[in-house]
């Protein structure tokens, strides 16, 4: 009985207090350890974030530098492009001047001398009586003196809003024979005998019409190379409008040193044509000469 009583005995104060103190100290120590541990983890996370941020900042700085470099390069390229375009423009104008001043055996190219004159060299296309391309190139050549007269006439037409359209000008002499052999006996009257040559072979005759400001041909007595009475100036059936246009064309051409033939309203000779030699230089040869 005495021993049992001893087991339910309230512990002695002297033993309880140190135990509680020990527990408190242990808890505080453990708490502190956990706190310190968490703090360390937080600090480490913070540090990692900071390092990441620094890396991003560095990347951003690098990108900005690269961007600035690119912008500078772009500016330089724009400058080079501008210079190149200016030089190109200058070169083009020089080529134009050179082409316009080119003269070979007394012939010049009207295409470069007066760009307002429309060149539709029919014999350099298949749109002609032979339905084949006769001339190698569509460059319109004329005697220098004849070209100057034609440009003056064109200036006069421009005052009324019209311009010249050329169908034929200088014709290498051997084509006179080719044409002669291509057309029927009856139509040969529309071509100069190859034995004597044509004023076209001198570069001193032009086949032309007039166009308005929209590039539309004015009504004339007939189409180009229409081998019939319709092409004749003497045709009494020409309507008033076509006659008026033909007479206006004739008047200005005559005032600027050209003469006419009756069989073809579109043909005009330089009044000095007989002073110039018959030539058989090909258009290709003219182009290839420096």
Residues marked as catalytic: 264
Residue 122 interacts with Zn ion (CB under 5 A): yes or no:
no
Does position 207 interact with Zn ion (CB under 5 A)? The reply is yes
Q: Which stretch binds Zn ion (CB under 5 A): 88-96, 143-151, 152-160, 260-268?
A: 260-268
The Cα-based distances of 204 to 80, 142, 170 in angstroms read 48, 6, 7
Compute the least distance from the CB of residue 91 to Zn ion, in Å: 37
Return the residue of 153, 267, 270, 279 that touches Zn ion, per CB under 5 A: 267
Per CB under 5 A, the segment of 37-45, 83-91, 108-116, 203-211 that binds Zn ion is 203-211
Q: In this structure, what token pair is assigned to residue 248?
A: 């206006």
Q: How far is the CB of 171 from Zn ion (least distance, A)?
A: 8
Beta carbon of residue 249, minimum distance to Zn ion (angstroms, whole number): 14
Which residue in the shown chain puts its C-beta closest to Zn ion? Answer: 267
CA gap 235, 232 in Å, rounded: 5
Does 165 bind Zn ion (CB under 5 A)? Our answer is: no
Say whether 200 counts as a known binding-site residue.
Answer: yes
171 near Zn ion (CB under 5 A): no
149 sits near Zn ion (criterion: CB under 5 A)? no
Q: Which residues bind Zn ion (CB under 5 A)?
A: 207, 267
What residue numbers does the annotated binding site cover?
A: 200, 207, 267
What residue numbers does the annotated binding site for Zn(2+) cover?
A: 200, 207, 267
């Amino acid at each position: 009985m005495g021993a049992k009583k001893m087991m339910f005995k309230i512990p002695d104060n002297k033993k309880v207090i140190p135990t509680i103190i020990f527990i408190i100290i242990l808890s505080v120590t453990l708490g502190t350890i956990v706190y310190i541990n968490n703090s360390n983890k937080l600090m480490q996370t913070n540090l990692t974030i900071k390092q990441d941020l620094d890396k991003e900042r560095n990347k951003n700085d690098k990108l900005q530098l690269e961007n600035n470099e690119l912008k500078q390069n772009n500016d330089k390229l724009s400058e080079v492009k501008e210079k190149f375009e200016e030089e190109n423009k200058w070169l083009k104008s020089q080529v134009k001047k050179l082409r316009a001043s080119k003269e070979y055996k007394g012939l010049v190219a009207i295409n470069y001398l007066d760009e307002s004159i429309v060149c539709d060299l029919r014999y350099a296309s298949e749109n002609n009586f032979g339905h084949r391309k006769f001339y190698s190139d569509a460059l319109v050549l004329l005697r220098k003196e004849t070209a100057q007269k034609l440009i003056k006439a064109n200036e006069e037409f421009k005052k009324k809003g019209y311009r010249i359209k050329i169908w034929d000008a200088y014709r290498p002499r051997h084509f006179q024979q080719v044409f002669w052999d291509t057309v029927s006996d009856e139509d040969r009257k529309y071509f100069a005998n190859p034995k004597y040559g044509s004023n076209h072979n001198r570069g001193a005759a032009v086949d032309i019409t007039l166009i308005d400001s929209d590039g539309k041909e004015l009504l004339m007595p007939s189409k180009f190379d229409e081998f019939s009475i319709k092409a004749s100036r003497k045709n009494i059936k020409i309507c008033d409008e076509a006659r008026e246009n033909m007479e206006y064309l004739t008047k200005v051409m005559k005032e600027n040193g050209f003469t006419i033939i009756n069989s073809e309203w579109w043909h005009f000779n330089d009044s000095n044509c007989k002073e110039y030699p018959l030539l058989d230089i090909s258009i290709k040869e003219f182009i290839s000469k420096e």
